[in-house]
A and B are shown apart, each in its own frame.
Chain A
Amino acid sequence: MLRIDGVTVRFGGHTALDTVGLDVADRETVCVLGPSGSGKSTLLRVVAGLQQPDTGRVLLSGIDQNGIPAHKRQLGLMFQDHQLFPQHNVQDNVAFGLRMRRTGRRESERRVGELLDLVGLPGVRNRAVSSLSGGEQQRVALARALAPQPRLLMLDEPLGQLDRSLRERLLVELRQLFRRLGTTVLAVTHDQGEAFALADRLVVMREGRVEQTGTPLEVWQHPASEFVARFLGFENVVEAMVRGDKAGTSWGEIPVPAGTPEGGCRLLVRPTGVVLTGPEEGLRCTVTGRTFRGGATSAVSLLLQPEAGPRLEATCTLPAAPQMDERVGVVFAGGDVVVLPGG
């Protein structure tokens, strides 16, 4: 459906996109995940035809889009801050793309009604867009982008400005909606939760380059680099020297997966792999931070300062959680140890 091929965009001396390549298959939802300034939005603008790439190609259904202006690409783009037309009401906003395609009045009204039902906003047709709440504007923006049945729907930080509970509800709805409609989606976000919930496939970007791609599970289980690991929120990264099925680190010996090549590398230990024991056992640590996260598992995040080596993050349940400044021992569970390639 969409193929991005070696696209580079420079703004003055700054390279926003550096030979980026990316494929989106028909009916697939791909999420581009990266911190702000990693070039995600620029990527969408290139695909939409709002930004000329310096080099590289954008192909839609196999056709090079170079020289085709934005209004002839038949794409949908939902802007980060919606960009609803303030002078039009909801009906006219949603019908805008249909009018541009010269859809008949009756047909277009029927479709607007259908879409407003779809996004869960029946009966707001004649409201002014300024009278809508943030979440409602978001839904109208989605309806407007979907109305002309775009070949590809692009979402720029789709749920960025919404409060948490609304965001989580909308995420589930969106995922169901896209599956039902068979929409091809390219979304960008800096929020890993959003990306994991929405995507069939993830693309992690860093400073204009693609750092890793894969299914959410693949990326979660095997971060391709320390950057990806840290961006996903994993902080327990350490230099290691692998010998057999163990690796020597400043935290002591850590079990590594079978087949790990011998020699120096970097290891990631997920917080769930940091197992608390009695104070006399394993690596001795002091609790320096303790945050109750709540949630279904009533989890507690812990910050541990070991006797040697960098700080550790651990997680445990509330009943098992030690107090601040308590001394604990730590052993590492092999299943949650990941060897980071490339050092």
Chain B
Amino acid sequence: MLTEVTKRGNVPAKPSAPRRRTVRRRAAAVRLGLMAVPLAFFALFFAYPVAAIVGRGLREGGHWQLGGLTEVLSDPGTLHVLWFTVWQAAASTGLTLLIALPGAYVFARFDFPGKQLLRALVTVPFVLPTVVVGSAFLGLLGRGGVLDELWGVRLDTSVWAILLAHVFFNYAVVIRTVGGLWAQLDPRQEEAARVLGASRFEAWRRVTLPALAPALAAAALMVFLFTFTSFGVIQILGGPGYATLEVEIYRQTAGLLQLSTAAVLTLVQFAAVAVLLLLHAWSVRKREAALRLVDARQTARRPHGAGQWALLCSVLAVIAVLLLAPLGVLMERSLRTSDGSYGLTFYRALWSVDETGTFLVAPAEAIGNSLAYAAAATVIAVLVGGLAAAALTRRAGKLVRGFDALLMLPLGTSAVTVGFGFLIALDEPPLDLRSSWILVPLAQALVGVPFVVRTMLPVLRAVDVRLREAAAVLGASPLRAWREVDLPLVRRALLVAAGFAFAVSLGEFGATIFIARPDSPTLPVAVGRFLGRAGELNYGQAMALSTVLMLVCACSLLVLERLRTDRSGEF
């Protein structure tokens, strides 16, 4: 009988033990195999170029020159740059949260016509190239800008222009990260608190705010990170008086050829970003902690009462003034010639090669270049990022978590350093890519991969393990189960990830400016070059190209918005 079997069963079945170990080893091997491609990619195209350029800056005659380290660090100029970098980032973050949080609430809890379209529109600035953001604000706040014409107000060399541009740029980060979670919080939790005697505000403070806190922290850190490493915006709006570390690295590298100073600044930035990323990873992990989430569609209601309508209207007004106006101005400037009439002069000029030698080819060719490069970069980013996300799905061990953080590093590393590193590191056999077109997509993919991983990971992790088990018991092999269960569920996330990668590749500026060949510039590079030259035609063409770039980005985003996944990613 059974009880006998129970007692007898004490003797373990020995011969099976080695077989079990093979199973476990195979699982580890699969994970390692998935991680191999992303690891190789990052080693070769991120760690190696960055190490090469930092090494070149710090070595002289084959010896490490670490004396330069203290010299640069104690230089008042460096300290000034560092101070400005930190405080403008902090101020930008605070201002962004202040302005965007009501928006996050409105998008999370209210239902109003045109909400989807508006959500796509407020995301446009985030994927816009910094150069375009810079020129849009120049058109609004700069010399001859809208404010200048109306009231004689110019903000383009003040820190306000930078801060406002940063808010413009990062509004969507808060809307998506905080608002996305907010929409999925069960309103009944707050209702439970109300029934227990909490006032409306108290219920929000004690129930909703703690649930949102990790998302808030994550959003704040992301905004801080993006503004800390801000380049294009400050390059264009800051004037000579303001420089972040990133801008200073560019000046030292490209302008003054002071590689040692640039190397030290890169290290400083690297250290700061590493600390920020650790904080971010920590807050993300806390965010994934047990929260009961519901379908976002069920939580949104039509606003009712004067207060709610007023809130909705003021948020819409802020969006109109802060986000849509700069974009509108950009388009307006691209169409207006000096005599005040409107026409397509600047657009037409894009199709001809000018005599001043700004370009070797017709600027319009940049459109084709950009699309081709971005498409290639998207393929690379989706491949590398998809494999990395698949490897990270099963959470295990510190090693994997370290890998997770590593994937975010390119976002916070000086793009200038990466670009210049590409130039000096990948120019000799066996890896001589200097004259190859693939160099640009590779650099752009570096920025795209973190977005792919961040978009895919929450969706992949949300796939219930037991669905795979159900498939297995019904006779599906692991590969088949992945194809039948995971793939249909993540297909949309994959498309969204690809779209994001495409948009950020399209807008990449800091690294591309170094490695794009003069005869095949990308759109942001062309815009940057136009803005760097005086003259009305150059300015007008910059605005025209920016408009083209903006429209391409906006279109890809609108397509994405249609595909929005149920569980939104972190961007």
Contacts and interface: CB of A to CB of B under 8 A. Distances in A.
Is this pair of chains taken from one and the same complex? yes
Interface of A: 3, 5-8, 19-23, 48-50, 52, 54-57, 64, 66-67, 69-77, 79, 81, 83, 85-87, 96-97, 100-101, 144-145, 148, 203, 209-210, 213
Contacts of B481: 71
Given A70-B472, A71-B476, A97-B475, A52 B3 contact: no
**Chain B interface mostly:** helix
Closest 5 CB pairs of A and B: A6-B9, A21-B5, A55-B12, A100-B475, A97-B474
Contact of A213 (B2, B12, B473, B478): B2
B339 interface: no
Given A7-B9, A20-B6, A87-B488, 15 more contacts: A6-B9, A6-B10, A21-B4, A21-B7, A48-B469, A52-B23, A55-B12, A55-B13, A71-B478, A83-B470, A96-B476, A148-B474, A203-B2, A210-B6, A213-B1
B8 interface: yes
Given A20-B6, A213-B1, A6 B11 contact: yes
Contacts of A144: 474
B19 interface: yes
B535 to A, nearest CB: 57
Interface in B478-518: 478, 480-481, 484-485, 488-489
Nearest to A50: B469
Among B4, B470, B476, chain A packs the most CB atoms within 10 A around the CB of B470
B464 to A, nearest CB: 7
Given A21-B5, A23-B5, A213-B1, A77 B11 contact: no
B467 A85 contact: yes
A77 B470 contact: yes
A77 B20 CA distance: 23
Nearest to B12: A55
B371 interface: no
Contact of B19 (A67, A77, A96, A210): A67
A55 B478 CA distance: 24
Among B8, B13, B467, B476, chain A packs the most CB atoms within 10 A around the CB of B13
A230 to B, nearest CB: 20
B70 interface: no
B5 A67 contact: no
Contacts of A77: 469-470, 473
Given A23-B5, A67-B16, A67-B19, A87 B480 contact: no
Contacts of A213: 1-3
A55 B473 CA distance: 22
Contacts of B485: 85
A7 B23 CA distance: 18
A215 B20 CA distance: 36
A52 B475 CA distance: 18
Contacts of B477: 69, 71
A96 B474 contact: yes
26 contacts: A5-B5, A5-B9, A5-B13, A6-B6, A6-B10, A8-B12, A21-B8, A22-B5, A23-B2, A54-B12, A55-B13, A56-B9, A66-B13, A66-B16, A66-B20, A69-B477, A71-B477, A79-B466, A81-B466, A100-B476, A100-B480, A144-B474, A148-B475, A203-B2, A213-B1, A213-B2
Contacts of B19: 66-67
Contacts of A66: 13, 16, 19-20
A23 B1 CA distance: 9
A69 B464 contact: no
Nearest to B24: A52
B476 A6 contact: no
A157 to B, nearest CB: 13
A71 B476 CA distance: 5
Contact of A83 (B20, B464, B476): B464
Contacts of B3: 210, 213
B281 interface: no
A54 B485 CA distance: 29
